[in-house]
Amino acid sequence: MVHIKNPILRGFHPDPSICRVGEDYYIATSTFEWYPGVQISHSRDLVHWRTVGQVLNRQAQLDMRGNPDSGGVWAPSLSFADGQFWLIYSDVKRLDGNFKDAHNYLVTAPTIDGPWSDPIYLNSSGFDPSLFHDDNGKKYLVNMVWNHLASMGNDHVRGAKFFGGILLQEYDVLSEKLVGNIQNIFPGSELGLVEAPHLFQRGDYYYLITAEGGTGYEHAVTYARSRDVSGPYELHPNTFLLTAQNAPEGALQRAGHGQYVELPDGTPYHTFLCSRPLPGMKRSPMGRETGIARCCWGEDDWLYLDHQKLEPATNVTPPELPSHPWPDPPVVFDFKSMNVLPPQLQWLRSPETERLFELRQEGLRLFGRESIGSLFEQSLVAARQTEWVCEAQTCVDFDPEDFQQLAGLTAYYNRTQFHYLALTRDPKTQGRGLVILSCADWPEARVSYAMADMVAVPEQGPVWMKLNIDHAALQFAYSLDGLSFEPIGPVLDASILSDEGVRGEHSNFTGNFIGMAAQDVTGRARSADFAMFKLDQKSADV
């Protein structure tokens, strides 16, 4: 029997919100600072999945210039009701200190492919909003409330938590705004850090799904229920539907934050996020990925995992649905034959793509903008790392005028975690040369050089660049003919390109990307042409 193999969405795909429409299953996942916002994946059998695209693709919907690393689009919630799709999302503008500045919006569309509407503003009281469509025709928004007073030391809030519970408020479709009283319906369990609420109805109960324990190794999916949408809510007999916190040797860790879905025959499944740490290390280069679990309903009307454990399984019994595989995603991107970038490739923060890149006969032209790691405008187009072992290659034609102009191949987690092989101009010799820039320095983001001297290359012609990642080791190479490659620089630490790589456990929220970059910190926007990009990833057992 063919099993569902977890993770089902490999590489950076956190906070999975699942929605069934007829025979089609869709999952929306967070994209944080990567543009366009909200990744949509599609399946017809829960085994095979494909990337459909991203929802928030224009300035009226999303502009993240200035958003911090791991800010931006958090925890989208996808649903289908009244003949259309509804998508709720947060745009988080601040992470540090006591405040979050999380603004919550709603967009709708007649089909999953759009067109998606301009956003309707909802609230900013906390993140992880979700829209619930009650059987009685009413709609409710739930989101966690952020308590910025938690660490101020005031007597009346001493001991309080930043995560202040789950709020519920009615949404009025005609006036396109939240109305009525705001109620705090659930404080969470003793694990704490309650977030990511989703509501659904079954029988006599409203079931409230939340995530708890933070995004690290104590993460969990918590269940509660009530006969009234506004509570009070009682906890599941096990508190959690799913968690890996007591299974530290399991292949899937940091499991939590998911949503319930039911097949037409009533069979229940549940999504969750998870990570695959490098063997022997608590470092997850692929970030938080999406898994799925088969469930069953107990005689007590509580949901349980089908295998009667709390930890998620890597191999899951599939539904009795016709097999529906999709074509394999591309390994080689030939930019000379493209009119638009495929959905596997994304960039950072900015909706003004014409300032960052364009597709031309010469290939993908990147316009050098701000420094690598800029929070505002940098030219970087990349794809997700999905496996521990992978090889990337590109060909760049670039004539830098001075050392402040660079272009090349990068493995990039965020502004404080990257390795970058760049073609530039040597300030000593004034000739073209190759340099490796690395950063593993939070919060200062100081860049170091992996080689003492630049490697000279001819003044004319393209340069081929390659990187190989094998678990925690990364090696760059280059070629002048595209056939014979020479290693360049030392073996670098690829484990820093992970959620836990610099700031420690569960401090970051994205995943490693591999792609092409161009910088021109003179402000002259010197361009670089990339003829192709190849990303070949070796599938692992887990």
CA-wise closest residue to 409 among 442, 433, 436, 387: 436
Is 377 labeled as catalytic in the residue annotation?
yes
The SS3 of residue 67 is coil
Distance CA(256)–CA(16), nearest Å, equals 10
- Cis link prior to 285 (omega < 30° from 0)? no
Rg for the chain, CA atoms, rounded = 23
Q: Which of 205, 397, 177 is nearest to 297 (CA)?
A: 205
Q: Tell me which of 370, 377, 387, 505 is the catalytic residue.
A: 377
Count the helix, strand and coil residues of the chain and give each as a percent rounded to the nearest 5.
0, 50, 50
Whole-angstrom CA distances from 489 to 275, 419, 427, 451 are 30, 11, 19, 6
What is the distance between the alpha carbons of residues 457 and 461, in angstroms, rounded to a whole number? Answer: 9
Nearest to 388 by CA among 469, 314, 282, 315: 469
C-alpha–C-alpha distance, residues 508 and 498, integer Å: 8
* Residue 230 DSSP SS3: coil
Contacts of 174 (CB under 8 A, 6+ apart): none
Report how far residue 478's alpha carbon sits from residue 468's, in angstroms, rounded to the nearest whole number.
11
Q: Which residues contact 450 (CB under 8 A, 6 or more apart)?
A: 419, 436, 437, 438, 489, 490, 492
Give the number of other CB atoms < 10 A from CB of residue 457.
Answer: 17
Amino acid letter for position 28: A
For residues 312 and 292, is the Cβ–Cβ distance under 8 A? Answer: no
Tell me: cis bond preceding 232? Omega within 30 of 0 counts.
yes
Active site residues: 377
